[in-house]
Amino acid sequence: MASRTSPFNLSTCARSNILQLQPYRCARDDYKDDGTNVLLDANENAYGPGLALNDEGALQTSYTGDATGASKPEIDFLGLNRYPDPHQIELKQLFCNLRNTHHHTQKTLKPANLFVGVGSDEAIDALLRCFCRPGKDKILTCPPTYGMYSVSAQVNDVDIVKVPLDVESGFQLQTEKVNATLSADPSIKLAYICSPGNPTANMIRKEDIRKVLEHPTWNGVVVVDEAYIDFAAEGSSLAEWVTEWPNLVVMQTLSKAFGLAGIRLGVAFTSPEIALLLNSLKAPYNISSPTSTLATAALNETNMTVMRSYREQIIAQRDRLLRELPQIPGVGRFLGGQDANFLLVEMLDVEGKPSNVIALAAYEAMAEKRGVVVRFRGKEYGCEGCLRITVGTETEVSKFLQELRVVLAGLHGGIEI
């Protein structure tokens, strides 16, 4: 049978900015996981979900889970023939309870301050659709930073203006340059600031974020991405600060410290007015019932205790990496900070200089022949020769240290690993 003819032409029918997109890639695209690899590439919580599970791995069903503290004897996953709650008020209240620390203000977060999305990525995209006109408006990012800000901007046909972080000051915000850029270009509607940074793992100074918020003329929104905030010092989150600043959005997720990357649950704290916009444009039932149930469970005190225990173990292994990695010949400086569940570290050549050649070769050798997957970040701004290493369990960290020592010794000695 002859093939059908059609006037359809994908290259002229699809949006040009979409045709130019490159799919998001992760280290696991290059190395098939057979279940035996040590995965230290995606900043997941290697200790597992922050949930109290029984011996069969099922969620314990007796817990105090709702916003009022009332006991819920059962978690019912039946009733999936019904659409989920479109508003998630109870879940939003639990997030408010978590972040109402009064470290930054005496005002109190309420459910009206929240948007709940399918991971932080939904909030990133929703903000672009709210505030940026395709082909006209722009966003500002501060590289090196999380790649989805740029991907989502490209999808929405929004240009990107970049003001890099200051490498010399440990990847801090160049506030004066940011504000000057905002003054010079009123088409910039969103400024994305990642804190703790990815891949830099450092907190952005609160006073620097304040200076951007205090910009005297810029009519735009400051978006602070706090995906890793629970690995930073207690009280670091600026979530409750949205009650003070009408143009501040603070994004968070359950994917990292809470160990629930698989349920895809993120939140954006902001003013009631911006939250209303975000909630108005989202899909009507964007959070599934199982996701909502697991997120609600994760925020009750029993399971918060589990999360804190895992976090303590992660921090202990992070401290171990800080002690032991520099003892391996060929390992250079730690760049950035220590406020996340990963570290950014240089790989050196035989002359003691940061080297992308060595870092990339180490990354490939570790994954292909040693069963340990980390992340090569040497092409990011200010990250020459760097690997980003997620903090794993004690066993995983031991294997990583052992294999990296062997790999670097071989690379420096010209031996095929």
* Per-residue pLDDT band at 83 (split at 50, 70, 90): confident
Q: How far apart are the first and last CA of the chain?
A: 53
Residues 98-122 have a mean pLDDT of: 95
Residues 194-219 have a mean pLDDT of: 95
Edge-to-edge strands of the sheet including 386-390?
A: 331-335, 342-347, 386-390, 375-376
User: Tokens 């964007």 belong to which residue?
Assistant: 286
Residues 320-329 have a mean pLDDT of: 97
Residues 29-55 have a mean pLDDT of: 67
**pLDDT at site 70:** 44
d(CA 313, CA 143): 30
Among the listed ranges 24-38, 141-155, 303-317, which one has the minimum average pLDDT value? 24-38
Per-residue pLDDT reduced to its tens digit, 277-309 = 888 888 888 999 889 999 999 999 999 999 999
Residues 200-226 have a mean pLDDT of: 95
Q: Label each residue of the chain as H, E or C.
A: CCCCCCCCCHHHHCCHHHHCCCCCCCHHHCCCCCCCCEECCCCCCCCCCCCCECCCCCECCCEECCCCCCEECCCCCCCCCCCCCCCCHHHHHHHHHHHCCCCCCCCCCCHHHEEEECHHHHHHHHHHHHHCCCCCCEEEECCCCCCHHHHHHHHCCCEEEECCCEHHHCCECCHHHHHHHHHHCCCEEEEEEECCCCCCCCCCCHHHHHHHHCCCCCCCEEEEECCCHHHCCCCCCCHHHHHCCCCEEEEEECCCCCCCHHHCCEEEECCHHHHHHHHHHCCCCCCCHHHHHHHHHHCCHHHHHHHHHHHHHHHHHHHHHHHHHHHCCCEEEEECCCCCCEEEEEEECCCCCECHHHHHHHHHHHHHHCCEECEECCCCCCCCCEEEEECCCHHHHHHHHHHHHHHHHHHHCCCCC
* Per-residue pLDDT band at 252 (split at 50, 70, 90): very high
| CATH 3.90.1150.10 residue ranges for the chain | 15-50+308-412
pLDDT exceeds 50 at position 144: yes
Residues 384-407 have a mean pLDDT of: 97
User: Taking all residues of the chain, what is their mean pLDDT, rounded to a whole number?
Assistant: 87
Query: Which CATH number applies to 63-303?
Result: 3.40.640.10
pLDDT exceeds 60 at position 159: yes
d(CA 39, CA 17): 33
Per-residue pLDDT reduced to its tens digit, 336-372 = 999 999 999 999 999 999 999 999 999 999 999 999 9
pLDDT exceeds 70 at position 49: no
| CATH 3.40.640.10 residue ranges for the chain | 63-303
pLDDT exceeds 90 at position 269: yes
* Per-residue pLDDT band at 40 (split at 50, 70, 90): confident
Per-residue pLDDT reduced to its tens digit, 26-39 = 555 666 666 677 77
Q: Quick one: what percent of the chain has pLDDT higher than 70?
A: 82
**pLDDT at site 322:** 98
* Per-residue pLDDT band at 388 (split at 50, 70, 90): very high
The domain made up of 15-50+308-412 is a member of CATH 3.40.309.10: no
